[in-house]
Each structure stands twice: as structure tokens, then as C-alpha cells.
Structure 1
Amino acid sequence: MKQKILVIGAGITGVCIAEALRRADQSVTLVDRMRPGDPAQTSYGNAGILAREAIAPILDQAMISQIPKWLLSKDSPVNIKWSYLFKLMPWAIPVLRNAMKDRIPQTMQAMNNLIYDTVDQHINFTKGTNAAAFIQKGEFIFLYPQKTNYLSDIYINDLKKSLGVQWIERDFAELKERDPALGDSYKFGAAFQNHGWLTDPAGYVASIANHFTANGGTFIEKEVVDIGPDRVTFKGGKEHIANTIILATGAWSQKLARTFGHKIPLQGERGYHIMLSNPSHKPDQPYMVTDAKYGLTPMADGLRCAGTTEFAPLDTAASKSPIDYLERSIKQVYPDLTWDGKGTWMGSRPTLADSLPMFGRTKSAPNVIYAFGGQHLGITMGPKVGQIIRDIALDKPTNIDLSPYAVDRFD
């Protein structure tokens, strides 16, 4: 039976859900206060990497010892607005608990189930659409200052290997042979296989949305300010009625979900990028600069350097220090790099305390479905999430265990 389904949020998660449901012959409306691909969306400014390897939680034991140094240093990939510390603690404390060794394997298995086939998922999902042209396949190389830094990740790497992640070790000579422009700050690499990236993440999201509307889907550019069991209220007071309402508004989901009773330890991790136009060099594939915690991705419009984490209220203006940090850091990778122009950006990644997303019907209003919490991996898991939420909305069985992502797991 055809349902009237409303999807709130037109980032990568929302557009994939809406398109998956449209293909299932449902009457689907997608709503957002901005158009898909808008620079204010988190989907706009990410590193664009289809990160099959990224199954570890956002924090593990090897990172915990680095936290004091990161927070106290002015030259750090992690920053905090100290006035925000008290509000951060209800999220930060369970994040630390979930970094313990007894919890990490279960988290990694649950994440692996979502992203192990990310490149194939994206290729299959966009087949026959203009979005397919944005996908590139290749290696994703982690750069380490020394091999000892790589070996310090042995516990996580062993778990990755057990879950099918594959990589090739590369010494400094091999890295330089493939990319002579590299400086000498990074002398060891791990080249992860079966990866991909997007040459324009915003264009990719917009292209999927355009395909959705060109083939019968509806997009409404309005802000949702309240959700009920069978309707939403737009800013200005107008209501929209639907059989099923899907909440996919990323870091802003907690506020809209407040009436349904579930505990949602969701934090917007503010990430930054610099986009270098007409750079003197672009690598053939993306890099992850492991000590500086950012990705370096060749894109259609230049070279994107994206990463860092800042903890601050969602509505706080962007900071200058993460941008300066990224610009200094890129010179450690490419000392001789020049460029004609530089664009900057900031967005908030939606991260739950156990590093896993939240999927499912709410207990108090079963017509409302949660679909948020993709942390740094919203692009990576987008098409798979679209299929999962489609099956939940249509009461169809899924082919993976959904209990790790349950909406009531923090209650």
C-alpha cells in the first residue's frame, strides 16, 4: 500500500532515504530549510571519502592519552569552547566508557555491517543517475610520521583485519615513488584497498535530490519546528500530515526528537575544511594524515583538507584556529604546495556516544522513525542507510541485526 512519507532533512542521509522510498513506489516528500547541497549542510564540506576502513569508534584507548595534550595545545586537531565543557560532559563520559577494550569489538562489528561494501553501495545506488559521475575508486592512504606510529594502532588494526579490511604497508621510498611531491614528515603509509571518494560531495547530494524530484518525488524548502505522531509543523505555523515521518536532520535531530521520550546523547562535532583552488599538485588518491587527524582529498574544484574536531554549541560562529591549523598542517605533507585561492567551511557531524547511528521507530509514536547519528561517516553509509530505513518504513525484514542502532538503547 502506498504511504505518504515525509523525510525531514535533505543531507546525504535524507536524500538517500527519500530516493530509496520513491523507488519502492511510495509518495515521498523531502523537506529541509535549505536545498540539498547547500554550503550550510554538513554533507557539503566533508572529505568526501567512502571510508570502508573507518569502523573504529571515534575514540579508542590509544587516543585517550592524547586528550590532555590536544585540549591544552593551541596547535591541535581537537578544540573546545571551555564555557561549553559542562554541557559536553553527559556525552563525553559515555564516549570514554565506550572506548574501553571490552566494548570496541562490538562497535566495530556493528559499523562494519553498515559500511563494508560502501563503494559498491554507492555505485549501485547511483547507476543510471548523474550522481554516478562523482564517484572515483582507488586507495585511501594513511600517512604516519614513522612506522612506530602505525604499530601503535595494532589493536584496532588487528580488529579491522579480522573484519575484512585490507591494506598494504608502504615505506617512505614507496610513498615518494608514487607521489614525489610528498615532504619528509611522513615516512610510513598504510594503503587501504577497495575505497573510493567523491569529487564533489555537495554536487553528489544535489544530483541524487534532483533525480528524486525529476522522477516523482517532492521537495519542500521549509524549516520544521515541531514533530507530532502524524504531522509536522513548519516555521510560520503551517502543518503537513503524513503516514510516516522520518527524522534525518543530523546534529539538529535531538531538538526535534525531544517530545518522544528517548534519551539521545548526540553531539555535533564541528569539523572544518579548507578548499585550495588551482593547487600546484593534487595526489592521485586521498590521504589520511594520522597525527593531524584530517583527510586530504583531490576534488574537481581543487584540493580539500578536511577534519579536526571542535566542541561548541551548534549555533556558535566558526573559529579561526582550526582553519589556521589545517593550513599549517598541509605544508607538512606538501612543503612546496602553492594555490591560487582558499575557501573555508565549518559543519557539525552528528555523533552519538557509542559512535553508532540511531535507526528505528519511536516507542511513543511508531509512525516516527529516527535516522541520524552517522558521525563522520554520513556520506560513507548513505545508500545503505537509505535501504535500511526504507525497509523499516515498509515493515520489511532487513538483512542485518538492527539492535546495535536501536532508538531505546540509551533509555
Structure 2
Amino acid sequence: MTHRGTIAVLGAGAIGVSVALYLQRDGRDVVLIDQDEPGSGCSYGNAGLIQCASVVPVATPGIVGAVPRMLLDKNQPLHIRWRHLGSLAPYLLRFLREAQPARVEANARALSSLVPRAYEDYRPLIEAAGIQSMVRPSGELHVFETDAAFENAKAANFAIRRAHGVRVDELDAAAVRQMEPGLARSVRHGLFLPDCYQTVNPQRFVAALARNFIDNGGRFIKAKATDIALRPGGPVAITTDGGEIVSEMVVLAFGAFSKPWARKLGIAVQLDSERGYHVMLPEPGVALNRTVVSGEYKFALSPIDGKVRIVGSSELARVGAPPNYERAMRLLTLARHLLPGLNEAGQSLWMGHRPSTPDSLPLLGPVPANPNIIFAFGHNHSGLTLGGTTGKLIADLLAKRIQPSDLSPFSPTRFARAA
């Protein structure tokens, strides 16, 4: 069966759904394609935050000295699997280059052009879908049990945030406990980022946006895409297990699974899976008012549908590698200490694939040799955050309200060589 449409969007996560909605608002005929239901990938298991303060790239100067620990200690917040070191080498070399101070500043500046506007770019989509109750201003609370970790964070990560206009409030122990009474008495300091928003459940949030897309006449095709080809004269043919889809243009938004598709189009991108884990506690016995992040151990406790989700861990490995749920259980061990009294009954574990680039910047815009192909992937830890912003940018690009040069820091070919 052949479907025809103006634009096909490959991938129904937060990015793909938002792109489809913004294109639809411009009057485009859009087909959204994914083998799974909308919001079933990374959107299913993340902390549920729209983080308008997330302007710090992962690669920073302190990361270079930490690489040996990443390789040797599987309990490090960022771990690299030895057996995948060879295939990850090009990515890691570029990652280390991006940790140089000048590159950190450039990457933070680029993120600062996207992240602070994240909620405002979502707002029209949220209002059109009538799901204002699914998102609330909450802020994000980073807590510290030691003076050293607190001072280090202020001098490094949070100094970058402040330099790029992010509001950071410093809290003493009493102020932290007033915000989150259930936290351990060992917490001594807090750094609060007020410009963050909490979704009640990230998967349901994305699914609700997708329903609005469909209700407004958009088409969602649940099928596994297997190939892509450019037809004479410009149309793009997408082969799926349910038939062929021919469109004038394709937006590639498959997240961490986009790399082989880019290769099919002649572009080699430095994109790898940074795997994250969560533990879900359905009856935690302890209430949280907002997402809380451990300053020492880099994991988050998030309120999701009245439950507690323990989220964290970054593990570099190939996409098809089996999960290592010991990392999830390590999160649970750490959470017991930070949030005493947790009820662990009925816990469930999850692993997802963050689409990670060495510079923490997404790949956005047309492929120069094939302007009918648009990249919209590689959002690292900010896929949910940057859904609305990416959707608006891609729609503005196709409507010529902005030019590809306006997206130059996010160029699809900045890592590229001929595939």
C-alpha cells in the first residue's frame, strides 16, 4: 500500500510528535510513522522535566580526568562498557575535544539559544491539546550532603548556567527541607532552578499531543520503517513492513536509532546511545513536590503520577547491547539514603536510549545534498525539553521564516564525512 503526503516524520517521540504538530499548524499534510505508540521510547521513562535551565554540555573540562574511572568503575554516573570501546572510539575522541574550555563555552552558548525558550515553544501545543493540567511550574532542586560537592557545583556546572542567564537560588538546609520535608537530614545545601516544569507523566504527555495531531487530521502509521530512497524528481520513498510511503519531504526523528538512517543518506554522524535507567516505585510512601537531583551521585527522584521514579545513570554502549539492570539497582540503593522510608514494593525497572552527541547539541536542519531530508535528532538529555522548540524551528525552516544558517551550531554535517 502506498500513502502519499507532503511530509513524513519518522519517529513518534517528543521530537517527532512536536515537529508533526508544528508542521500541521502551518497547514502541511503530515504523516507520522513509528513502529511503537507515540511516547513509547525515551519519553516513556525519563524524569518528566521540561528543563529550561539545561544549558551545560556533558563534556566539560573535569570529564577528561574522569575517563579512567568511567572505564574501571561500573558505579560511576557515566560508565563506558569496555567491550564497546573500539566502536565508541571516534565518538569518545570528539567528546574529549569538546571538553576544552572554548568548546564548552560555544556549546553552552548554542544550548542557551534553545533551552530557555522550551516551555514557551510548547505552550501553544499544550493549549491546543487542552492538557494544561499535565504540566506545572515546579523548578528543579539539586541537593548536596557535603560542602565540597556544593562548592564544586557552584564553581563549575552552576557557574556555566549563571553565565548564560539561568537563575540559580542557593538554599540552606532549612530551606531545602521546607521545600522537600521527606529528604534525609544529611542534606546541607541546595541549588534551586526555578525555571523548570514537571509533566505528570512524560509518556502520557507525548501521547496526548499525538492524539491532538490525529484529531486535527494528521495520520499516524504504526509500522516499522526499513529503508529510504530518493525517487527521480525529488519524492522520498520510505519502505515499511506495512507498505511504501511516498512523500515530498522526510524529517528524521528516530532519536538514538537515527544513525543508520543517516548513513543510508550518505552522512556519517557521531551519535551513540547513552543508556539511562529508572526504578519506578508505585507506592513509595514518601511524597515529592518536584524533581530532586543528588549533587553527589547525579541521579534524580521524580514525582510521576503520584509515584516516585528514580532516574539516572549514563552508560555508553551500542544500541543493541543488553541492559545492565545492576545500574538501576544501584540507583535504588542511593535513593534509600537520600529519601528515607521509601517503600520498594512493586518496583519496576526500565532502560532507554538517549541519543548522545559529543557536543551535547542536536542535529537540526536539511542535509545539504538532499534538502528534502531534514534531521531532527541527537537531543541527548533534552529530548522531552526540546520537543516544542525543535518542532517550531523545523516548521520555521520549511516555511523560510528562518534559514539553515540560523541553525549552524546544529548542522547535520558538522561531524560528517562521506558515509
TM-score (norm. length: structure 2)? 0.93
Matched length = 408
Q: Residue by residue, what CA displacement relative to the aligned partner does 1:247-285 show, whole Å, maximum 9, x if unpaired?
A: 000011110111322230001101011111111112211
State the alpha-carbon separation in 2 of the partners of residues 180 and 174 from structure 1.
Answer: 10
Q: Which residue of 1 aligns with 2:282?
A: 277
Query: CA-to-partner distance for each residue in 1:9-47, whole Å, 9 max, x for gaps?
Result: 000000000011111111000000111033xx1111111
Residue identity in the other structure for 2:396: D
RMSD of equivalent CA atoms: 1.9
Q: Relative to structure 1, is the Cα distance of residues 117 and 235 closer, same or farther in structure 2, using a 3 angstrom cutoff?
A: closer
Equivalent of residue 311 in structure 2, options 306, 311, 324: 306
Q: How does 1:194-209 map to 2 (within 5 A)?
A: 194-209=195-210
Question: After the TM superposition, which residues 336-347 of structure 1 pair with which residues of structure 2 at under 5 Å, given as runs?
Answer: 336-347=341-352
Amino acid at match of 2:56: A
SS of the residue 1:196 aligns to:
strand
Look up the match of 1:263: 268
Task: Find the aligned partners of 2:295 and 2:355 in 1 and give their Cα distance.
Answer: 21
Alpha-carbon distance change, 320 to 344 in structure 1, aligned in 2, over 3 angstroms: same
Q: Is the 8 A contact 1:13 1:382 kept in 2?
A: yes
More displaced stretch, 250-259 vs 397-406 = 397-406
Partner secondary structure for residue 205 of structure 2: helix
1:71, CA displacement in angstroms? Answer: 3.2
Between the aligned partners of 1:367 and 1:232, the Cα distance in structure 2 is 11
SS in 1 for 2:284: coil
The Cα of 1:145 is off from its aligned counterpart by 2.4
Say if 1:249 and 1:323 are closer, same or farther in 2 by CA, change over 3 A.
Answer: same
Query: Following TM superposition, by how much is the alpha carbon of 1:77 offset from its aligned partner in structure 2, in angstroms?
Result: 2.2
Equivalent residues of 2:59, 2:359 under 8 A apart: no
How far 1:400 moved relative to its partner?
Answer: 9.0
- Give, in whole Å, the separation in 2 of the partners of 1:162 and 1:58: 16
Once the two structures are TM-superposed, the CA of residue 365 in structure 1 deviates from its matched residue by: 1.4
The Cα of 1:321 is off from its aligned counterpart by 1.2
User: Judging changes above 3 Å, is the alpha-carbon distance between structure 1 residues 370 and 399 closer, same or farther for their aligned structure 2 residues?
Assistant: closer
Kindly indicate whether the alpha-carbon contact (under 8 Å) linking 1:5 and 1:26 is maintained by their aligned counterparts in 2: yes
User: Does the 8 Å contact 2:119/2:388 carry over to 1?
Assistant: no
Q: CA 1:150–1:354 in structure 2 vs 1: closer, same or farther (change >3 Å)?
A: same
Q: CA deviation at 1:401?
A: 3.0
For 1:32, which of 15, 31, 34 is the aligned residue? 34
Name the CA shift for 1:304/1:145 in 2 (closer, same or farther; >3 Å).
same
Could you tell me which runs of 5 or more consecutive residues in structure 1 were left unpaired when the two chains were aligned.
none
The residue that corresponds to 1:67 in the other structure is: 67
Q: Where in structure 2 are the equivalents of 1:228-243 lying within 5 Å?
A: 228-229=229-230, 230-236=235-241, 238-243=243-248
Could you list the per-position Cα deviations for residues 360-386 of structure 1 after superposition, in whole angstroms to 9, with x for gaps in the alignment? 111221101111010000011110100
Question: Matched residue of 1:116: which SS?
Answer: helix
| 1:107 aligned partner | 107
Superposed counterparts of 1:104-183, under 5 Å: 104-153=104-153, 154-183=155-184
Is the contact made by 1:130 and 1:207 (CA closer than 8 Å) also made in structure 2?
A: no
Determine the structure 2 residue equivalent to 1:330: 335
Q: Distance in 1 between matches of 2:90 and 2:58?
A: 16
Deviation at 1:291, TM superposition (A): 2.2
What is the deviation of 1:392?
1.9
1:90 corresponding residue in structure 2: 90
Checking the alignment, whether the CA contact within 8 Å between 2:292 and 2:301 is kept in structure 1 is: yes
- TM normalised by structure 1 equals 0.94
Which residue type is aligned with residue 367 of structure 1?
N
Contact 2:286-2:341 at 8 Å conserved across structures: no
